[in-house]
Every structure is written in structure tokens, then in C-alpha cells.
């Protein structure tokens, strides 16, 4: 990532639009807010009728390939990607549906808890490592396939890894990159002074009852840092494959993430909040036409869709979406121009709340609103740790009132809550029904044409070897 940033554009105030895996990805792929497409939580269906950036890139003449996690929920497991190389790591059905009818009750079977901290440390293999090894291998192999095949269309390859992610378990070679005793610990904070949503999250993850020790906290942060380096290693290997196949100087590489992790700050872990460590994400672009620049303006994953449309249309015919997109193109800023907009917005309608939550970041200020909670207003430039709530400060009363009015203009909180409740009730019923009468799985099973892989008896052995060799034998 450092290498890409040194020769590319780094967006220093990039945010996800929903601090939870599936809604964040659905919003990013569709270019629309989660509330606009019903992406309420990690078990909300992503309808096949919603166009994605993969659909548009297909129309623009690209080969679209997905390797790894997208957390698609529902029977459509492609969403525009012409080829998919791996299954999902998590269920594709309605199993993980929250229950706002019983919002005060802790979710048990599938929800985060302090096991992620007690399990943190080193291991040689985990299901998450197994998955990412498969994703990385498939992505790199596909890059070589692009080079070996005669199809000269441009490609759009998405490589989506699970790491870094709890339960913070890393292989020794990545763990040993860091001095354990030098791992930083969270700043101390008065837990009694936390905002209501932070208190709810602490109850939900059992941080307030089971808790965790300083050693567990250090282990967890160590594992997270180690796995960040692990994924950075896969990114490096993919860049190396692009360089070896002669495609790096012809390829725009974008490195980003669907959310962050609180890692113990404010007594919180995982994501599910609008604070910087949970909501802010890396966003780096490098490649032809990209300037070596740093962009300070706030932006978000919603901006990826229009940015990719601009890249695909660069020098060609502009691609017009059938409906309005919620984001803006960052291509001008990435190529050395000035971004006139300094804004990002986010939503949350999943676990540990009973009402929709909203965030607006404009310039140096971030505003957080929920019908059940006091408003929060932070100057994230002067107060990057978000310790001082300015919402009730008389000097910022007009600013807070302006943000409150803007939230009211952008979102109908009561109507969204009704939609969330109706969706949850329906999905819980469907999940129970699908499990009682013989389970029907939506989980993606990659097709493998074993009869035509490697060398088979209908192939010329020598031709198969020549065909798969890269570079070609002169």
C-alpha cells in the first residue's frame, strides 16, 4: 500500500457508507445508499434487479471477475460479475437477521463477543486464512490467465479478502513482524461517559460483562496489525503479477476496505459505529493517469462507482447510469485536479440499535444522529479521537442545528424504521420456513470443468504445455 501511495493518489478522509460488511459492499457496488436499496444489515437481500458497477463495466467491454468475499445475500450470487472464482466465507441466506422487535436482547449464536479477544494470537491455519489463501491464489492465477489468453478486452478484477478481521489470529511469519511489547494500547476513557450507542454495542459484544484483559487487548491489536501486513503481502503479490505480465502500467489499482475496527478504542471492538476507527477506510489509487497526490477532502465508497465509470470511459464514450448515483467521481482529484466537494455520509440500521442512525461528515465536522440518542458533533481535525461532543456547545449551536435539519431533509427516519422492521419480520419467517422443510442453499458453488483442466486425453500434451506457459516459448 505504501508503494502504491508513493506513486499514486491517497485519499486521506475516505469512509465506508455503512459500518458493517454486507451493506457496505452492496452500497459500494450499486453506488446507492443502503437505505435506498434495502441493505439493512448482514442478512438483507441484495436484489438482482439493482444494477452494479460490474453490469456497467460489462457493457463497457470489460471482462468482470470476482475473487473472494462479497457477502451477497439471496439467490443472485454474481450481481453482474461474468465470472466468480470462489464461494462466500459467510452464509448467503437470512440467518443473520437482527430483531428490532427485541432490540434489547443480545444476539447469541452468530454475533461478535469477547471470544474474538480470548482467541487472539498465532495459528498456522484458520478458516479465515484458508479462505484468503484460496482468494489470493485464484486472483493471481486469473491475472496470469488474462496474460495467457487471446482475449484482448480490458479486465476488472475484484479481489476481496476477509482479513484483517476478528478473531485476530495470524500466522507466525506475519505476527513476528511486530514487537509484541511495543504494540500500542487504546487511550483510557471513562466508560460511564460513553454515548448510548457505544453502551449498547458494549452490551451486545459482552465487553461490559465478560470484558477482556490488557493482555487480550494487546494480542488482538497485534493480530490485527499482523493480518494487515498479511493482506498487504497479497496486494504486493498481485501487483507483482501485473508487473510480470506487463500490465501494471496499463492497470488502475485501487486498494480499499469495507469498514474498519475500533480495536478497543472507547471500550469498543469490531465495527458498527460511526467513530473514525470503525468508519474510516484506506483508499489508494495508482496507475496510468493517476497523479502522485494526497487528497484531504472527505469522500466515501459511494464515490467508487462513478469513478470507475469515468476510468472506463476515459478516451471513449461516457457511460450513463440509468438512475442517479449517490456519490461523485474522484477521477478528477486522482489525476491531479481539485475536488470541490468535501463530504461523506453514512447510515446504520443493523444490530444494537432500534432506530436508524445517520452520519454526515462535511469539512472538519462530523454529525451523528439517531431518534433515541443525543446528537453528536465532532471536529475531527482538532479532535481526532472524538472526545469532545460539540452538539450542546452554544458556540456550535447553529452548526448543530444546520446538521440536524440536513439529516431531516436527507432521511425519513420513521419511514426507514418501518421498512427495517417489516423486512426483519419477513426474513425471520422465511429463514425459519427454509430450514424446516428441507434446506435450500443460496451459497455459491464455483463451477469447475475438471474434464478440460490441465491435461486430458482429448488434448495434445505438447500443445497444452505451450498454451499454459507464460511468457510464451519463442
Q: Residue 370 domain-assigned?
A: no
User: How confident is the model over 259-304, as pLDDT tens digits?
Assistant: 999 999 999 999 999 999 999 999 999 999 999 999 999 999 999 9
Domain holding 13: CATH number? 3.40.720.10
pLDDT tens for each residue of 236-259: 999 999 999 999 999 999 999 999
Q: How far apart are CA 407 and CA 409, in angstroms?
A: 5
Q: Which residues pair with 15 in a beta bridge?
A: 280, 300
Instruction: Supply the mean pLDDT for the chain.
Output: 95
Number of domains in the chain: 1
Q: What is the pTM of this model?
A: 0.94
> Is the residue at 347 inside a domain?
no
Which residue numbers are catalytic?
21, 71
Q: Is residue 279 included in any domain, yes or no?
A: yes
* Domain interval for residue 41: 2-341
Residue 219 inside a domain? The answer is yes
* Domain membership flag for residue 473: no
Give the pLDDT confidence of 423-447 residue by residue, as tens digits. 999 999 999 998 777 778 899 999 8
**pLDDT recorded at residue 440:** 81
Distance of CA 200 to the CA centre of its chain: 23
Strand 169-170 to 121-122 pairing: parallel
Residue 462 pLDDT exceeds 80 = no
Q: Distance of CA 154 to CAs 65, 238, 300, 310, 464, Å?
A: 11, 17, 25, 15, 25
pLDDT given at position 372: 97
Q: What is the DSSP string of 20-50?
A: SHHHHHHHHHHTS-HHHHT--STT----TTS
Percent of the chain at pLDDT > 70 equals 99
Instruction: Identify whether 91 is part of a domain.
Output: yes
In a domain, 357, yes or no: no
Looking at residue 238, its pLDDT comes to 98
3-state secondary structure of 258: coil
Sheet holding 63-68, edge to edge: 83-84, 63-68, 155-160
Mean pLDDT of 106-123: 88
Instruction: Please write the tens of the pLDDT for every residue from 1-36.
Output: 999 999 999 999 999 999 999 999 999 999 999 999
Would residue 159 count as lying in a domain? Answer: yes
Over residues 336-368, the pLDDT tens digits come to 999 999 999 999 999 999 999 999 999 999 999
Amino acid at each position: 500500500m505504501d508503494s502504491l501511495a508513493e506513486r499514486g493518489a491517497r485519499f486521506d478522509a475516505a469512509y465506508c457508507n455503512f459500518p458493517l460488511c454486507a451493506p457496505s459492499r452492496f452500497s459500494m457496488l450499486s453506488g446507492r445508499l443502503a437505505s435506498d436499496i434495502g441493505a439493512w444489515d448482514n442478512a438483507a437481500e441484495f436484489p438482482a434487479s439493482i444494477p452494479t458497477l460490474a453490469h456497467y463495466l460489462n457493457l463497457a467491454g470489460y471482462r468482470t471477475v470476482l475473487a473472494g468475499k462479497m457477502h451477497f445475500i439471496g439467490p443472485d450470487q454474481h450481481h453482474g460479475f461474468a465470472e466468480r472464482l470462489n464461494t462466500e466465507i459467510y452464509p448467503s441466506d437470512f440467518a443473520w437477521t437482527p430483531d428490532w422487535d427485541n432490540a434489547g436482547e443480545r444476539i447469541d449464536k452468530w454475533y461478535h463477543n469477547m471470544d474474538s479477544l480470548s482467541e487472539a494470537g498465532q495459528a498456522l491455519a484458520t478458516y479465515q486464512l484458508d479462505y484468503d489463501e484460496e482468494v489470493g491464489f485464484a486472483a493471481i492465477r486469473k491475472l496470469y490467465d488474462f496474460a495467457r489468453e487471446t482475449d484482448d478486452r480490458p479486465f476488472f478484477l475484484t479481489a476481496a479478502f476477509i482479513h484483517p478481521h476478528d478473531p485476530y489470529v495470524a500466522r507466525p511469519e506475519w505476527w513476528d513482524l511486530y514487537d509484541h511489547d511495543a504494540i500500542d494500547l487504546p487511550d483510557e476513557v471513562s466508560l460511564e461517559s460513553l454515548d448510548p450507542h457505544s453502551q449498547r454495542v458494549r452490551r451486545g459484544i459482552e465487553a461490559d460483562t465478560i470484558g477482556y484483559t490488557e493482555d487480550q487487548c494487546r494480542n488482538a491489536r497485534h493480530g490485527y496489525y499482523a493480518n494487515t501486513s498479511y493482506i498487504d503481502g497479497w496486494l504486493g503479490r498481485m501487483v507483482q503479477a501485473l508487473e510480470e505480465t506487463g500490465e501494471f502500467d496499463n492497470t488502475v489499482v485501487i486498494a480499499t476496505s469495507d469498514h474498519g475496527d475500533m480495536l478497543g478504542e472507547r471500550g469498543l471492538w469490531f465495527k458498527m459505529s460511526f467513530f473514525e476507527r470503525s468508519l474510516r477506510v484506506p483508499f489508494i489509487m495508482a496507475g496510468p493517469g493517476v497523479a502522485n497526490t494526497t487528497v484531504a477532502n472527505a469522500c466515501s465508497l459511494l464515490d467508487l462507482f462513478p469513478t470507475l465509470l469515468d476510468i472506463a470511459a476515459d478516451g471513449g464514450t461516457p457511460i450513463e447510469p440509468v438512475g442517479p448515483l449517490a456519490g461523485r467521481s474522484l477521477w478528477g482529484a486522482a489525476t491531479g485536479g481539485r475536488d470541490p466537494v468535501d463530504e461523506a455520509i453514512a447510515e446504520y440500521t443493523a444490530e444494537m440499535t432500534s432506530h436508524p442512525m445517520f452520519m454526515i461528515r462535511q469539512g472538519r465536522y462530523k454529525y451523528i444522529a439517531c431518534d433515541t440518542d443525543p446528537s453528536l458533533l465532532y471536529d475531527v481535525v482538532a479532535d481526532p479521537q472524538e472526545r469532545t461532543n460539540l452538539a450542546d456547545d452554544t458556540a456550535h449551536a447553529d452548526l448543530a442545528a444546520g446538521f440536524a435539519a440536513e439529516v431531516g431533509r436527507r432521511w425519513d427516519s420513521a419511514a426507514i424504521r418501518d421498512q427495517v422492521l417489516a423486512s426483519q419480520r419477513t426474513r425471520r419467517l422465511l429463514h425459519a420456513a427454509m430450514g424446516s422443510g428441507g434446506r435450500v442453499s443460496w451459497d455459491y458453488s464455483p463451477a469447475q470443468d475438471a474434464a478440460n483442466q490441465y491435461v486430458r486425453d482429448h488434448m495434445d500434451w505438447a500443445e497444452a504445455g505451450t498454451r499454459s506457459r507464460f511468457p510464451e516459448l519463442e
